[in-house]
Amino acid sequence: MTLVPSRSLLDDAVLHERAVPSFNVITLEHVEAIVVGAERAGSGVLLQLSENAIKYHGGRAEPLLAASRELADAASVPIGIHLDHIQDRKLAERLIALAPRFGVGSLMFDAANLDYAANVAATTEVTEAGHAAGLWIEAELGEIGGKDGAHAPGVRTDPTEAADFVAATGVDGLAVAVGSSHAMTERAASLDLTLIAELAARLPVPLVLHGSSGVPDETIALAVAAGIRKVNIGTVLNVVWTGSIRATLAGNSSLVDPRRYFRGARDEMTATVAALCAVVSPSPLCKY
């Protein structure tokens, strides 16, 4: 196994009615934990670098993309690299140009803060540029709850509008609002499984569930059965990472070497990744 195109993971998920576990990375430790966790579960995954993570690293995507590429290349399971929630058009253009160098296979362009017509126009342009570079492109129609002042709870993706949006933009995947919210630290979200099934029947592209950290395991499994084909996970990794570090430092106030408290936190994150892979994708997604 090695670094693989995102499209191959997603096509295989559609073929076998599974979903691709897709984990957001912020640090090198995230990348290491996700890859080892995926290997432990025997699951293909996507490593996702978001615009916010790029901003955290001073606007430089290259170092973490390089680390992701190298660790994916050495993995025993198929690993793809995805760019998540890219809103800045200039950044999207720069990342599309960088994609071949770092083995990036997909990009989510997020223009959901714009009105419908502007979202369609901007997403269409980025999709055309991404396709020219060989990328699988994801988009979002209407904001998903809990992110930067997004819509109030209860808003849902309209199937007819979603079908029109996909046809107009040519995107390869669509993030849908079905009850989850970003940045939830408790797993209490309730999903509209009937809506997921309706969207899956109406749309010719894979559905993406964002905000999955707030969704209970059994509900994630039901969402995949209903038609979700990509499951984004981020916050829960940071919850276990931070919790481990807090506990370790509270127990030993003399610790100053970050390796002493990062190691345990990375191990906790690895275990969480493996467990979530088993929920999202009970058996390996791809066989190469």
**Which pLDDT belongs to residue 287?**
40
Residue 85 and residue 238: Cα distance in Å, rounded?
Answer: 18
116-132 helix and 159-169 helix, angle to the nearest 10 degrees: 40
Q: What is the DSSP letter of 241?
A: H
CA-nearest of 122, 156, 155 to 139 is 122
User: Among this protein's residues, is 84 annotated catalytic?
Assistant: yes
Q: CB of 49 within 8 A of CB of 72?
A: no
pLDDT given at position 75: 97
Intra-chain end-to-end CA distance of the chain, in Å: 7
What are 25-40's pLDDT values in tens digits? 999 999 999 999 999 9
CA dist 214 and 224 (Å) reads 15
Q: Lowest mean pLDDT of 118-132, 167-181, 230-244, name the range.
A: 167-181
- With 60 as the cut, is the pLDDT of residue 150 above it? no
Q: What is the largest CA-CA distance in the chain?
A: 59
Predicted structure pTM score: 0.92
- Residue 105 one-letter amino acid: G
Domains (ranges, CATH) in the chain? 6-280 (3.20.20.70)
**List 11, 12, 73, 84, catalytic entry:** 84
Q: How far apart are CA 62 and CA 53, in angstroms?
A: 12
Separation between Cα atoms, residue 92 and residue 67, nearest integer Å: 20
Q: In the prediction, which pLDDT does 288 show?
A: 31
Summarize the confidence of residues 133-148 as an average pLDDT: 77
Is the pLDDT at 144 greater than 60? The verdict is no
Of the ranges 37-51, 134-148, 271-285, which is most confident? 37-51
CA–CA separation, 185 vs 102, rounded Å?
Answer: 32
> What gap in Å lies between CA 209 and CA 216, rounded to an integer?
13
Q: Convert the pLDDT of each residue in 73-115 to its tens digit.
A: 999 999 999 999 999 999 999 999 999 999 999 999 999 889 9
| CA distance to 30, 150, 243, 264, per residue, from 257 (Å) | 18, 39, 18, 13
Instruction: Give the pLDDT confidence of 204-228 residue by residue, as tens digits.
Output: 999 999 887 778 888 999 999 999 9
Beta carbons of 273 and 38 less than 8 angstroms apart: yes
Dist CA 135 CA 25 (whole Å):
19
Does the pLDDT value for residue 285 go beyond 60? no
Cβ(139)–Cβ(174) below 8 Å: yes
